[in-house]
A and B are shown apart, each in its own frame.
Chain A
Amino acid sequence: MQSKKSTIHRRKFLRNTAYAAGGIFILPRHVLGRGFTAPSDKLNIAGVGVGGRAETNLPKAYNNGSDNIAALCDVDDRRSVNARKMWANAPYYKDYRVMLEKEGKHIDAVMITTPDHMHAPIALAAMEMGKHVYVEKPLTHDIYEARMLTAAAKKYRVVTQMGNQGASGDDIRLIQTWLQEGLLGDVHTVHVWTNRPTWPQGIASPTGQFAVPAELDWNLWLGTAPQRDYNPAYLPAIWRGWVDYGSGSLGDMGCHFIDSPYLALQLGYPVSAETSIGSVYKGYFQEVINVEGFPPSAKTYIHFPQRGSMVPVKMIWYDGGILPERPEELLPDEEMSKVDGGMIFEGTKGKLMAGKFGANATLLPTSLMKDRVLPRSKIALVEGGTEGHQQQWVKACKQGYGAYTSSDFALAGPLTETVLMGNLAVRSYQYSETNSKGEKIFPGRKKLLWDGEKMEVTNFAPANQFVKRTYRTY
């Protein structure tokens, strides 16, 4: 199973990723071909970013050899050690652009597990070649990219999946059923929280000069991000806390926690966002706001409008340790979900509490769980549940465009936009200007109004710089 054609030029792609006006998506799908052959054939999968989380994603897609890992790509030889050992015959690249160009004919699908800032450029390049894509969460690093990938999935008719495996779980389907059955009445408020960041945030940017390790191609690691000297403080994993590469705890966990309410309540584009963040002081009255990093904690309100017969929803996100108020129906000694986070739905007829991926969905008060016969999920379950998320995508790739995946970009794109809307609010909150008196002011500390169709904050222009990044040419 191979793409018939792989005509895209790297040069052309580079132009595309610079977002020249109207310059994206220039290769029509019918030129590229679908690359779809008999379903009995193995899917040839390339991995871009093959360490860390990819060490789960790739083996699950590989499924003990039921499909092929056809190519591997990582900018860091240390991170790719295990993958290269496991698939010793797969050609290995450092630059995904080279890999796509050289291996385009031999691959059908691409799994992307890089730092957040590279998700979109890689995914788009693959999609433009007609490759199916599995992209880790959050789908993209900025809102514009999420919109673009969502459109690209349709345009290129490729099978897509974001790596929020909870979307394939039984629990999210149960919550969806309960809400559809009206157990909570009209849901107007959703609280969602995570204990992350479980790494340092709100810290000063790293300093010092360091030699780039021989195994790492720093220029490629930076990719589209602004030029910056190598520093070991950024990798691996810890890039999450820095705005040029990661998307904070919202980007990390938002897709896992927000997807249940997002799906069940069909939230769509938000209309506004408002936040406040945990402050950091290095001395008496010496506040530090490092706009290069995400804060240690945040509480963010995201508002959704009326959707058909569904009432407007206020979603409140909490991270870094701050929690919502315990529902009054929850008894004083009862646990409010697990330590890593949770969610609470508030409707006109009741409340529902659940953990990550919507696990352990519980009506409140918890005594209701004993007293009532509750509906079972009416939505078809995914084989393997959350653990079957990657295989679901592999099988869908083989069936071709239109086959169901739990978190295709039509859903994952707007979900990611919502997550990134929170980050837009956080970055606007950190944004400062100096007024005519020489004082530092924070004009973005207000309720930001969002025009979802136009992708524009309408009442605070500087916020729009966070909608879309400028890519570095590299």
Chain B
Amino acid sequence: MKLNKSRRDFIKSSSLATAGFFIVPRHVLGRGFVAPSDKLNIAGIGAGGKGESDLFEFSKSPNANIAFLCDVDDRQIAKSLSRFPKAKRYYDFREMLSKEHKNIDAVSVSTPDNCHAVAALAAMELGKHVYVQKPLTHDIYEARLLTESANRYKVVTQMGNQGSSGDGVRTMQEWYNAGIIGDATEIKIWTNRPVWPQGMGTPKGKDLVPAELKWDLWLGPAQEAEYHKEYVPFSWRGFWAFGTGALGDMGCHLIDPAFKTVGLGHPTAVQCSQVAIFEKQWTPDYFPESCPAASSVILNFPGHEGKPPVTMHWMDGGIIPERPEELGADEQFGDGEGGGVLIIGTKGKIMCGTYGSNPKLLPTSRNQEVHVPQTLARVPEGHYVQWVNACLAGYGRKELSSPFNYAGPLTETILMGNLALRSWNIRNEKTSTNGRSQFSYPGRKKLLWDSVNMKITNFDEANQFVKREYRKGW
């Protein structure tokens, strides 16, 4: 599978051309950030929930101006509208970008996962800097596309895994680079999420679409689906059509510190298992459209430059790794309830919580003995303002904590886990001997990944999860 080489190709492929948007090449438009002030004019796509807090965080910078707000739901946008009364409001980001591109410097995308890529790419094609919530995209192909687009359009990018701007991950990097734990061979990561119901069927029936919601726009590139109140504003996370489950939700926060510390790239293989659901005895329920209630995902990364291969084991939904022997019986493992990360090296172990918080060497007594000088710059301004300042400085001028050339491969890794979880549920009906249906599950094996060609090489059906088909018109 090859990425589209030119923007024009992409426009064609995404069907946006037919809508008449984005016909003006970027170099004609210029950067679009001009006087009257030096402020960065930010448009927010998805302005409720996490979008609302993201925009508020940007606005703490004296250099940021929240200029436009776009949301498909009047209820979700209400708080942002009252906070930024001067911002002009849109429902459809395509319309907003088409009409306002000259007045926009940067775009923040905080929609449900399935719209991240289309919104971000449309903005990047117009030369807009982008801040995109985690996970960067909904499928692997989109992550690759955004990563390459960031380079192609030379825009400043940041994924919204704010922990990557924290001190914790930098401390871990310093320890690791100083060889304190030797070379990492195993990484164990867990979250208590999903902390909402998963592993159930799609909601039954349909509800009346609320007057405040533009359902068709909410769906975006997702396939046509009946509105159900279950999906909005949050539970879309548990359905593959819109969300990316616990891995998509927390993976970027939890895998990030290990990914960065150990310097991981693309995985070469993935395997998984997930909790089965039984509402009746002996007959397992089958909900392939829903993310699982609990899962175990194991990713393999090859050795490189003399470093050993690394196995990463992700657990969610309550299942956690074994407590390391070095951890005292009453010492907290990771965050305690929420989640954690354990990096096992040839000479020691590092543990931290979600967002890379509270990094510790194990046994914890080692933290008093080991002193590694600080070599990496911290980000006192924080993740949001870092991006604002970098946008103002221009492409390539300032370091970012989670630019797409880092966040893209990280997101691909996370989505690789989801690819395995979805492949797990592919089933074929076998000839039944007793009148009862019997099924085989050909995807329940170790899936081998050719990252260059973005292809599972030993189970072709899995490749349907690499790239979605967008709904007609998107």
B281 touches A199 (CB 8 A): yes
- Interface 9-mer from A37-45, A62-70, A166-174, A272-280: A272-280
Set B278, B318, B330: member contacting A200, Cβ < 8 A: B278
B40 to chain A, nearest CB (A): 34
Docked CA distance A287–B195 (Å): 7
Contacts of A210 in B (CB 8 A): none
- Chain B CB within 10 A, most for which of A298, A333, A334: A333
Within 8 A of A (CB), among B268-291: 269, 271, 273-282, 284
Task: Decide yes or no whether A282 CB sits under 8 A from chain B.
Answer: yes
B294 touches A285 (CB 8 A): no
B425 to chain A, nearest CB (A): 11
Set A197, A274, A277, A285: member contacting B278, Cβ < 8 A: A197
Interface flags, A92-113, vs B, CB<8A=1, else 0: 0000000000000000000000
A199 touches B271 (CB 8 A): no
- Interface 9-mer from A83-91, A141-149, A319-327: A319-327
B448 to chain A, nearest CB (A): 6
Majority secondary structure of chain A interface residues (helix, strand, loop or mixed) = loop
Within 8 A of B (CB), among A209-256: 237-238
Task: Decide yes or no whether A446 CB sits under 8 A from chain B.
Answer: yes
A198 touches B273 (CB 8 A): no
Q: How many inter-chain residue pairs (CB < 8 Å) link A and B?
A: 115
Set B198, B274, B322: member contacting A274, Cβ < 8 A: B322
Task: State the interface size on chain B (CB cutoff 8 A).
Answer: 41
Contacts of B322 in A (CB 8 A): 274, 301, 316
Docked CA distance A378–B198 (Å): 50
Task: Decide yes or no whether A395 CB sits under 8 A from chain B.
Answer: no
Docked CA distance A201–B271 (Å): 25
- Known interface pairs A281-B194, A282-B197, A333-B445; A326-B278 also in contact (CB < 8 Å): no
> In which size bucket is the chain A interface?
35 or more
- Known interface pairs A326-B271, A332-B445; A199-B195 also in contact (CB < 8 Å): no
Task: Decide yes or no whether B458 CB sits under 8 A from chain A.
Answer: yes
A200 touches B280 (CB 8 A): yes
B235 touches A198 (CB 8 A): no
Task: Decide yes or no whether A154 CB sits under 8 A from chain B.
Answer: no
Task: Decide yes or no whether B51 CB sits under 8 A from chain A.
Answer: no
Interface flags, B210-244, vs A, CB<8A=1, else 0: 00000000000000000000000011000000000
Interface flags, B313-343, vs A, CB<8A=1, else 0: 1000111101100000110000000000000
B281 touches A237 (CB 8 A): yes
Task: Decide yes or no whether B466 CB sits under 8 A from chain A.
Answer: no
Task: Decide yes or no whether A176 CB sits under 8 A from chain B.
Answer: no
A323 touches B194 (CB 8 A): no
Docked CA distance A330–B298 (Å): 15
A200 touches B279 (CB 8 A): yes
Task: Decide yes or no whether A296 CB sits under 8 A from chain B.
Answer: yes
B329 touches A446 (CB 8 A): yes
Contacts of B273 in A (CB 8 A): 318, 321-323
Task: Decide yes or no whether A447 CB sits under 8 A from chain B.
Answer: yes
B197 touches A278 (CB 8 A): no
Task: Decide yes or no whether A297 CB sits under 8 A from chain B.
Answer: yes
Within 8 A of B (CB), among A174-226: 195, 197-201
A284 touches B195 (CB 8 A): yes
Find the B residue at minimum CB distance from A201. B278
Set B269, B274, B284, B318: member contacting A276, Cβ < 8 A: B318
Within 8 A of A (CB), among B433-452: 445-448
- Known interface pairs A301-B322, A326-B271, A446-B329; A278-B293 also in contact (CB < 8 Å): yes
Contacts of B281 in A (CB 8 A): 198-200, 237-238
Docked CA distance A318–B276 (Å): 12
Task: Decide yes or no whether A7 CB sits under 8 A from chain B.
Answer: no
B271 touches A285 (CB 8 A): no
Docked CA distance A325–B317 (Å): 17
B319 touches A276 (CB 8 A): yes
A296 touches B293 (CB 8 A): yes
Docked CA distance A296–B279 (Å): 11
B276 touches A279 (CB 8 A): no
Contacts of A301 in B (CB 8 A): 322
A325 touches B313 (CB 8 A): yes
Find the B residue at minimum CB distance from A298. B319
Contacts of A284 in B (CB 8 A): 195-196, 234-235
Contacts of A297 in B (CB 8 A): 275-276, 294, 318-319
Interface flags, A296-313, vs B, CB<8A=1, else 0: 111101000000000000
A456 to chain B, nearest CB (A): 16
* Interface pairs (25), CB distance under 8 Å: A197-B278, A199-B278, A199-B280, A199-B282, A201-B278, A279-B195, A281-B195, A281-B196, A283-B196, A285-B195, A295-B318, A296-B276, A297-B318, A299-B319, A299-B320, A320-B275, A321-B274, A326-B271, A326-B445, A330-B446, A332-B445, A333-B445, A333-B458, A446-B323, A447-B329
Task: Knowing that A297-B276, A316-B322 touch, tell me 15 more A-B residue pairs with CB under 8 angstroms.
Answer: A197-B278, A274-B323, A279-B195, A281-B293, A287-B195, A296-B277, A297-B294, A321-B274, A321-B294, A322-B296, A323-B273, A326-B445, A335-B445, A446-B323, A449-B329
Question: 5 shortest A-B CB distances, which residue pairs?
Answer: A279-B318, A323-B273, A332-B446, A321-B276, A278-B294
